[in-house]
Amino acid sequence: MKFGPCLEAAKRSAIFAIKPIHLSGLISRLEKNCGPLQTLYYWPHSSKHVSSVLVTCEDGTRLQHCLNSFPNYPRVRIPFTLRSSNGTDHSLSAFRICSDPTVFKRFDSECNSFEKLIGHYGHRFQPQSIRLTALKLNQELIQSCDSVDAQAKMLLDNLTITKADQISRLLFVDSLEHSLSELRPCTRVLPFGSAISGTGTPSSDLDLVVRLGPEPDPVFARLYENLHPKFKFDNFLSSLVSRNGTQSSKVLRHLRQLLNKLDPMGIQDSKLLGGRIPLLHVVHHRLLGIGIDISKFGKQGHEDLFVVQESATWQRKLMRTSPVILESLLLLKHILRSNNVLKLGPGLTFTSTKVMAVFIHFLQQAGYAPPIKYLLSYEISNLDQLNEEILDETFTMPKTLELKTPPSAVRVIEEFFDYVPTLDPSQVEISLLEGTVYPRKSRDMFCFDKTIDHKLTVHSPAECHFLYIPDPVRSDLNITHHIQPQHWRNFVESVCNFSQILKLNCLPSMRTHRDSAWGLAAVATACREKPLKYQPKKQRLN
């Protein structure tokens, strides 16, 4: 899927929770104010008779003005009262995501028949299917598939992010950036990770990073400075429009409050996670159906921003070298998540990013993937050029680099399961940049820690990190930080179990009972009722 067209469409889109009876009324209002709609993605209701619709217009500015005029639409209203006037009411633009279906209950419906909607909009009206849960999907696989490859195809049909999924994620990014830019111009909100690389599934979290503009909007800043002492100002807005708002340690907390105002019913649960990189972790967004992780740039914002974008660029290039790489990665994530080996969101054990680093190392050792140094853009020195690089879909590998053609996705996973037990992380440093491994003792690398008497102590790499995979862009960062020996032993044990089950149950004829799982379905439920033995103590993340 091309990233550029989805990003461009997201800037002209909005998504709403709505009851089917009000759908045609909403569409009529939008077309009256915004012109003909280009596309309508519709998800049927799954509970409480509430559906969701993603609309794309020809003009994003007209769409924004239309939403601003909707009665009862959630808005962040800022009641400034000046010393020299009776008062002025200011509002931020409407957030282009609305999870409250009651907002549209007054819209009269001209028709409540989907046949009429389809007949009127034709190919522009695109009903979306509800993705099956893992358990139902396994039952479906058992009943209809006759081979492991057929199972893999059915899984991939439900694990691949659709164009509508991608637009809705990028829509959240763009709308949040628009709202923050009204308070602080030049604010950037950038997605990274699976949102750009294409390695995510429909349930993958959306990873964002926020860089607030250096100066607040002059109008809001002046109004805030002249605020009458009798009137109190919301703390989160005070921070965002103050002169030194970017330096506040509570920016993420204030950002959470802002999101709750922009879309009051969107965020069901959220947490503030401390550590090397503090996070605002939205456990589940009601309308998007995914978790969201938001971080904030520190003092070296420009450098960090470049690193984030460069990482997303090389990952996307890697996925384009062979479709089998992406397919096998999606299947691997499904197996690990189904067995609670890999969990959604940030964590101290194996996360999606850490597993992908180990998997890419295996691909390099097998000759299926190149060293990452061939995917980096060394000639690019600024963010504008890098953003163009992300949108470029014409990348090809150098002809001098010979790679093996990966077999089927299932076979690649089998080879990965066989490779993991042979790897001893404590003895080597894994270099994704060079596509090789180095003995730990031959690398002149050290890390420092403060002892009880506050003196710096030098540690060897083995003492610092059990599993050491430096980031190809920032070699001083370890992608697999916090992985302990017990984590790795549990991971190896699970992988060996998966490998054995897949070999013993690779055909329908090999199952012990008529209704028992086989193939990938058996692997996906292998450890569902077997919790991990090792439960780490509560620690700070990152």
How buried is residue 465: exposed, middle or buried, by Cβ count under 10 Å (0-12/13-18/19+)? buried
Compute CA 414 distance to the chain's CA centroid, rounded to the nearest angstrom.
Answer: 27
CA distance 66 to 54: 15
pLDDT exceeds cutoff 70 at 454: no
pLDDT at 445: 46
Half-sphere exposure of 301 (CA within 13 A, CB side): 18
Q: For residues 288 and 172, is the Cβ–Cβ distance under 8 A?
A: yes
Closest CA to 204 of 344, 354, 2, 7: 344
Q: For residues 279 and 294, is the Cβ–Cβ distance under 8 A?
A: yes
pLDDT exceeds cutoff 80 at 487: yes
Burial 142-160 (b: 16+ CB within 10 A, else e): beebeebeebbebbbebbb
pLDDT exceeds cutoff 80 at 422: yes
pLDDT exceeds cutoff 60 at 358: yes
Strand partners, 294: 208, 280
Q: What is the CATH number of domain 322-368+403-524?
A: 1.10.1410.30
List, in order, residues 6 or more apart from 352 with CB less than 8 Å away. Answer: 193, 194, 199, 204, 333, 342
pLDDT at 83: 42
Q: What is the DSSP string of 171-199?
A: HHHHHHHHHHHHHSTT-EEEEETHHHHS-
Window from 84-88, 155-159, 421-425 with minimum mean pLDDT: 84-88
Beta strand spans in 325-461 (E) = 428-431, 436-439, 447-450, 456-459
Closest CA to 480 of 337, 356, 330: 356
The confidence band for 310, taking pLDDT boundaries of 50, 70 and 90, is confident
pLDDT at 542: 42
Q: What is the mean pLDDT of residues 482-486?
A: 89
pLDDT at 159: 85
pLDDT exceeds cutoff 50 at 419: yes
pLDDT at 97: 97
The confidence band for 175, taking pLDDT boundaries of 50, 70 and 90, is very high
pLDDT exceeds cutoff 60 at 299: no
CA distance 469 to 478: 5
Comparing 96 with 240, the larger pLDDT belongs to 96
Residue 228 burial (CB count, 10 A): 13
pLDDT at 91: 82
How buried is residue 191: exposed, middle or buried, by Cβ count under 10 Å (0-12/13-18/19+)? buried
Termini Cα distance of the chain: 31
pLDDT at 314: 87
pLDDT at 406: 93
Max avg pLDDT among 125-129, 301-305, 476-480: 476-480
Domains 3-296 and 322-368+403-524 share a fold: no
CA distance 318 to 313: 9
pLDDT at 273: 84
Window from 65-74, 387-396, 495-504 with minimum mean pLDDT: 387-396
Ordered by start, the domain boundaries in the chain are: 3-296, 322-368+403-524
Comparing 332 with 307, the larger pLDDT belongs to 332
Percent of the chain with pLDDT over 70: 72
Instruction: Quote the tokens at residue 294.
Output: 């938001």
pLDDT at 540: 39
Comparing 437 with 125, the larger pLDDT belongs to 437
Instruction: Quote the tokens at residue 338.
Output: 């189904």
Instruction: Give the CATH H-level superfamily of domain 3-296.
Output: Beta Polymerase, domain 2 (3.30.460.10)
pLDDT at 17: 93
pLDDT at 84: 43
Compute CA 510 distance to the chain's CA centroid, rounded to the nearest angstrom.
Answer: 38
The confidence band for 138, taking pLDDT boundaries of 50, 70 and 90, is low
Q: Give 49-76 pLDDT, tens digit per residue.
A: 788 899 999 999 999 999 999 988 999 8
pLDDT at 533: 42
Q: For residues 43 and 18, is the Cβ–Cβ distance under 8 A?
A: no
Determine the residue type at 206: L
Q: For residues 177 and 97, is the Cβ–Cβ distance under 8 A?
A: no
CA distance 264 to 257: 10
pLDDT exceeds cutoff 80 at 527: no
CA distance 400 to 384: 29
Q: What is the mean pLDDT of residues 275-285?
A: 85
DSSP designation for 384:
H
Q: What is the mean pLDDT of residues 200-209?
A: 86
pLDDT at 62: 95
